[in-house]
Structure 1
Amino acid sequence: MKTSVIPIFIPHIGCPYRCVFCNQWQITGHRGVPDAADVQHSIDTYTAGVTEPRHWEVAFYGGSFTAIPTTLQEQLLQPAYEALATGHIQAVRCSTRPDFITQPILDRLRSFGMTIVELGVQSMDDRVLELAKRGHTAAHVLEATALLRANHFTVGHQLMPGLPGENWDSLKQTTTAVCRLHPDMARIYPVAVLDHTELADMYRAGRYKALTVHEGVERAAYMKQAFLEHTIQCIRTGLQATKDLDDSTQVLAGAYAPAMGELVDTRRYGQQLFALLDILEKEPIMISYHRRDTSRVRGYRNVTLIGAGRRYGNQLQWREDSTVMPGCIQIGTASQGRYEIYTDMRMIKKIECST
């Protein structure tokens, strides 16, 4: 059954800090503080006229939901709770700060039917968190994740590769720490430099070197591959495109691209495909994949296909094959047998040897 999200944006309310990267108005494309009527209107609008079965989730995004005044939390939650009770929607979720998770807070969320909480982790390196002015530490993430698990919530982590002070060692430290905590899901948002933020001032003054899109893809692909190998679902890579984010006067630099998710999967699939092709003898090779994986295997705008042609010559053929399972690349040769690459697990299996 298809899952559809009904987003409710609450930018810049509740959060006691202003992170150097943060401009929620641009990130969400929404302004103003919603009320209960807005929540009800969103539920009615999104679900109107939909006849096929769907799993509807109301999601409170864009701010620090558990940090906003309790009265407002309850006002916003009430229409979602009523829709949940009638079966009009199937789940309620929110995103919030790791340092605003306590037992009383979770008791309140649970009483309104919420079952999914995403934490704005960003990094597990305390030095990076300090430079980003997050106002919390990695220890808060550990404590919040443990408390959410103890209360049987589904847990999500949101990460931001490319923050000030981060290098590859720091990125690997964060990735390892998140894998060890094993949230149910993760989102990866490589840093984009938004105007009207402290990070923009740092960038203009030469005190912050922004990631290029290529560097952002490299770091996000590393994180996503590690998460998948640890069976952590990666539900988004890169900021959702909005009119403001597509405005070059608003996004000054950094790793923002509307197709970030495709670019990241292109890199993951391409690295694994080339690693196998590099060790095979040169001969005609058939590369087969499920239709769902065509853009990942051939690459965004066929970049992998073109690069493979330059690297290996005209020995490769590419085809969609409905018998190949999604997430798998099948390699067929005449003399060296047949191989399958299971991309999420970074595993190569030889499934047939020539006789």
Structure 2
Amino acid sequence: MTKPYRLYSEALKQQFGCRVHKISIDAGFACPNRGGSRQQPGCLFCDPQGSGASGIARRLSIAGQLEQGKEVMRRKYRASRFIAYFQPFSNTFGPVERLRHCYEEALAVADVVGLAIGTRPDCVAEPVLALLAELQRRTDLWLELGLQSCHDRTLAFLRRGHDYGCFLDAVARVRRYGVRLCVHVILGLPGESRDEMLQLADEMARLHVDGIKIHLLHVLRGTALGDLYEQGAIRVLEQEAYVQLAVDFLERLQPDTLIQRLTGDGPRETLLAPLWSLNKWEVLNAIEQEMARRGSLQGCRCRYR
């Protein structure tokens, strides 16, 4: 069945002729916004273990983590090719020599056909971009930048440690090196109106990003955001409100932007809210049903086509 949006996993299947899955790995990188040079406590929502850290066997080498992940992905999804996803913390925050060693170790593992490198807009120095551009010439490479919001008020509240101007500068430099870019955004952030969230969609369309990950705001125990939630200081979206917002967002993107994520699912053991997000397939099905009800497609209301 054809999706009403451009699904990244389907694009990978067409490119490689088989199922391709990401394997999250922890290469031991730190974050400048968390115990780094700024001596900041980190982003308000950040998991103490780092994004996506649940289930990663940190005791293993990069190659070891990939080999273990391959077994799981083959068994669960019948995947035959894999992308090494450098996920927790800021995976371009370090000397270029160390970055090269880590990325090359991953690429040396059999059946690894690409790299996805998660980081921040303030961690993409020119030497790093030059390395990524070199690697992209011989593998399927994506740079993933966490943005979350285009509104400086919200970024300050989230303790991101950078403003939207920093992100725009990073995008311009990434483009000069020809590196493919996936941007992470969050819907339902405290204090943001529907119109402000859709301004973010318009900005992603204006920039014509290659890929996007749309997350819903989920609250984890042990985070500063979790403390605020338990104090009753913030609220999260209900499922129906998120579904409507996600469809509105998709309609405003460029038609060819690859959708790498459409919801978020925090670790079950630490998730405070919204608990409905644990039913990931129910949420995804509801988004598709709403698009069918509207007769809409990704990009049908894009202002920058």
Q: Report the TM-score when normalising by structure 1.
A: 0.66
Percent identity between the aligned chains?
A: 22
What SS does the aligned partner of 1:160 have? strand
Residues 210-256 of structure 1 show CA distances to partners (whole Å, capped at 9, x for unaligned) of 223333333223223333x5321111122246xxx223xx2222375
User: Is 1:38 paired with 2:61?
Assistant: yes
CA contact (8 A) 2:45 2:224 kept: yes
Q: Deviations over 1:2-55 (max 9, x none)?
A: 222232135772242411111153743146856xx62112333455797x9944
| Structure with bigger gyration radius | 1
Which of 24, 27, 30 is matched with 1:13 structurally?
A: 30
Structure 2 SS opposite 1:65: coil
Instruction: Find the counterpart in structure 2 of residue 56 from structure 1.
Output: 82
Higher RCO (CA 8 Å, separation ≥ 6 residues): 2
Q: What secondary structure does 1:116 align onto?
A: strand
RMSD: 3.0
Alignment partner, residue 139 of structure 1? 165
Corresponding residue of 1:254: 274
Match of 1:95 among 110, 113, 118: 118
Worse-superposed segment, 187-196 or 106-115: 106-115
* Count of residue pairs brought into register by the alignment: 269
Distance 1:260 1:43, change over 3 A: closer
Which residue number in structure 2 is paired with residue 163 of structure 1?
189
Tell me what 1:270 maps to. 290
1:206: how far off? 2.7
2:238 maps to 1:215:
no
Structure (1/2) with the larger strand percentage:
1
Counterpart CA distance in 1 for 2:56 and 2:205 is: 35
Q: Contact 2:182/2:212 (CA < 8 Å) preserved in 1?
A: yes
Alpha-carbon contact 1:14-1:64 (below 8 Å) kept: yes
Structure 1 counterpart SS, 2:85: strand
CA distance in 2, matches of 1:255, 1:179: 30
1:265 and 1:177 map into 2 onto residues whose CA distance is: 26
Counterpart code for 1:5? K
C-alpha displacement at 1:107, in angstroms? 1.6
Q: Provide, for residues 260-293 of structure 1, a one-character-per-residue CA deviation record: whole Å limited to 9, x for no partner.
A: 45424423433542x5xxxxxxxxxxxxxxxxxx
The change in CA–CA distance for 1:268 and 1:53 in structure 2 (over 3 A counts) is closer
Tell me if the contact between 1:158 and 1:186 (Cα under 8 Å) persists in the aligned partners.
yes
Q: Structure 1 residues 191 and 42 mapped into 2: Cα distance closer, same or farther (>3 Å)? A: same
Task: Write the deviation string for residues 67-96 of structure 1: whole angstroms up to 9, x where unpaired.
Answer: 24545434422312434xxx7422122011
Compute the displacement of 1:143 (Å): 1.6
SS at match of 2:154: helix
Report the 3-state secondary structure (helix = DSSP H, G, I; strand = E; otherwise coil) of the residue aligned with 1:187: strand
* Most deviating of 12-21 and 255-264: 255-264
Is there any run of 5+ residues in structure 2 with no aligned partner, and where?
1-16, 35-41
TM-score with structure 2 length normalisation? 0.76
CA distance in 1, matches of 2:46, 2:163: 18
| Matched ranges for 1:40-189 at <5 A | 40-47=63-70, 54-68=80-94, 70=96, 72-83=98-109, 88-112=111-135, 115-189=141-215
Partners of 1:256 and 1:143 in 2: how far apart?
36
Counterpart among 41, 54, 60 of residue 29 in structure 1: 54
What is the alpha-carbon distance in structure 2 between the residues aligned to residue 40 and residue 32 of structure 1? 11
CA contact 1:9–1:61 (8 Å) conserved in 2? yes
